[in-house]
Amino acid sequence: MSKNAVDVAMVGIAVGSAGIAGVGFAGPFWGLGFAIGGGIAAGTIALVSQRYGAGEHDGIGQTVRSSTAVVVGLTLPVTAMFWVLAPDLVGLMTSDPRAAELGASYLQVVSLGMPFAALNLIGSRVFIGFNDARTPMILRSAGAVANGLINAALIFGLGMGVVGAAIGTVLSNAVVCSVFATGLVAGRFPGIGEFPVRIDPLGSYVDREFVSQLVEIGTPVMGRNLVWTVAEFPMLAIVGLFGTEVVAAYVIARRIWGLMNTPGWGFGLASSSLVGQELGRDHEETAEAYGFEIVKFAVGVYLLSAAVVFVLSEPIVRAFVDSPTDPAIPVAVSMVSAACIAIVFQGVTGGAAGPLDASGDTRWPFASQAIGTFCVAIPIAYLGATTPLGVWGIYLSFAAETTVPAVLNYYRLATGEWKRVSRSYRPGASPADD
């Protein structure tokens, strides 16, 4: 999230609103890499955490190798497509030639980092699956710092603009990916110590059972991630009806939204790991207790962070632009304020989705996100663009995007049906376990 925010902020300062809009138009395409990687990574953490809880470490190695093979096989064709078709794809989203040109240049280069970004998601989920969230935090935070430094050198030092931002993203993701791979193969990393497991890189990469389970669990999560990625296309087209300045404001607000949403990633992954380990030990009541407690913690943290951002919304927005009189500033401040209210419900959405992901019950969160986004949020935004509702349609779409899946995910968590689903994915499970 911080890499995206840094790209937008530095491009905004160096290039202006057209640059911000261009990066925003490229964002949904770049998001496809994360949708694919995040989907398979959900299967990875479910299988790793359950096998770690059951003490079956051999299965962890096979899960990692199969996850690597699947995610590379899925992202390389996407990278090739964007490299060739970037100008045509971005051009479909805007009639502003300058924004389209900048967005295409950014997308063409940043697409080279998609396989690395997806593999980083796999690597981090592996560590979290065996109770180590500290290592991926250190490695990916170092990558974020490297991204900022490379960006600064290329954007401001060499005047490379959006291309410099894209190169920084690619290089930082590649470095982090290589470190993850080295550490998992060696079973340790200098300054961090020994890891509970070591991955043999020479084993089988295509195991039919593991690949099948990864795809079965990961596909709905991939779909859930794709919901917003796909939804960004019509949303940006709708926001574009208000003009380039409103598009720039919207992109800024979404990046700040992404930063506010980072606790949800942490709580969701913690829930997936802890719940998955308890399910692997057949401790279903403890798994359920973890699920509900983490939802409570998540909501509390979101309330606090949203309050801070709400108070500081104007200076935060101004960090993304160079001119103090940029017309995008007041619109972005209003959007960020609306996002602060809506983001609190994301704590429920993500916290409740964690146990469902850990159990393999991933279809429900996918459906809830699709309903909230396509059936409620986008129609409301369109009403804003075509009726006197105006920009309030965008504010209300933020709320719809989080409240609908929050209600539906929490309902599914409360039913306990996800515990039954998990029995078919636990170590040694057979179809009869259903």
pLDDT, tens only, 213-225: 787 777 777 777 7
Q: Which residue's structure tokens are 């931002």? A: 165
pLDDT at 411 over 90: yes
pTM over 0.85: no
φ, ψ (nearest 5 deg) of residue 433: -70, -20
d(CA 428, CA 416): 22
pLDDT, tens only, 188-212: 877 777 777 777 888 788 778 778 8
Mean pLDDT of 402-423: 89
Q: What is the DSSP string of 345-359?
A: HHHHHHHHHHHHHHH
Measured in whole angstroms, the distance separating CA 396 from the mean position of its chain's CA atoms is 22
pLDDT for 406: 93
DSSP state of 189: E
Length of the chain: 434
φ, ψ (nearest 5 deg) of residue 15: -115, -35
CB 126, CB 66: distance < 8 Å: no
CB 356, CB 346: distance < 8 Å: no
* Domains of the chain by residue range: 2-433
pLDDT, tens only, 48-95: 877 777 666 667 777 888 888 888 888 899 889 888 888 887 777 666
Q: Which residue type does 41 have? A: A
pLDDT, tens only, 338-363: 989 888 898 888 888 888 887 878 78
pLDDT, tens only, 292-345: 888 888 889 899 989 998 999 888 888 877 667 777 788 888 888 998 988 889
Mean pLDDT of 12-25: 71
Classify the C-alpha dihedral 89-94-95-100 as positive or negative: negative
pLDDT for 57: 67
